[in-house]
Structure 1
Amino acid sequence: MFTRIDHIGVAVEDLDAAIKLYERNFEMELVHRETVESQGVEAVLLDVGDGHVELLSALGPDTPVGKYIARKGPGLHHVAYAVEDIDETLASLKEQGVKLIDQEARTGIRQSRVAFLHPAATGSVLTEIVQPAEDH
Structure 2
Amino acid sequence: MFTAIDHVGIAVADYQNGIDFYTGTFGMTVLHEEVNEEQGVREAMLAPGSDASGTQIQLLAPLTLESTIAKFLDRNGPGIQQIAYRVTDVAATAATLRERGLRLLYDAPKRGTAGSLVNFIHPKDAGGILVELVQPATDHQTVPQ
Q: Which amino acid is the alignment partner of residue 29 of structure 1?
A: T
1:108 corresponds to which of 78, 97, 112: 112
Residue 48 of structure 1, CA deviation: 3.0
Partner residue of 1:40?
40
Matched, 1:27 2:27: yes
Unaligned runs of 5+ in 2: 140-145
Secondary structure of the equivalent of 1:26?
Answer: coil
Which of the two has greater strand per residue? 1
Partner residue of 2:126?
122
Residue 72 of structure 1, CA deviation: 1.2
Matched, 1:61 2:65: yes
Matched, 1:6 2:6: yes
Secondary structure of the equivalent of 1:102?
Answer: coil
- Cα distance in 2 for residues equivalent to 1:100 and 1:62: 21
- Cα distance in 2 for residues equivalent to 1:92 and 1:45: 28
Matched, 1:131 2:135: yes
- Cα distance in 2 for residues equivalent to 1:122 and 1:48: 27
Residue 4 of structure 1, CA deviation: 0.3
Count, aligned residues: 135
**For residues 84-117 of structure 1, what are the alpha-carbon distances to aligned partners after superposition, in whole Å with 9 as ceiling and x for unaligned?**
0111101101111112222221001101000010
Q: Which amino acid is the alignment partner of residue 30 of structure 1?
A: V
Secondary structure of the equivalent of 1:134?
Answer: helix
Q: Which amino acid is the alignment partner of residue 86 of structure 1?
A: V
**For residues 23-72 of structure 1, what are the alpha-carbon distances to aligned partners after superposition, in whole Å with 9 as ceiling and x for unaligned?**
11111100111000010000000013611100000001101111111111
Secondary structure of the equivalent of 2:88?
Answer: coil
Matched, 1:85 2:97: no
Q: TM (normalized to structure 1)?
A: 0.95
Residue 118 of structure 1, CA deviation: 0.6
Q: TM (normalized to structure 2)?
A: 0.90
Q: Using the aligned pairs only, state the percent identity.
A: 40
- Cα distance in 1 for residues equivalent to 2:104 and 2:112: 17
Partner residue of 2:142?
none
Instruction: Please identify runs of 4+ aligned residues in structure 1 that moved more than 2 A.
Output: none
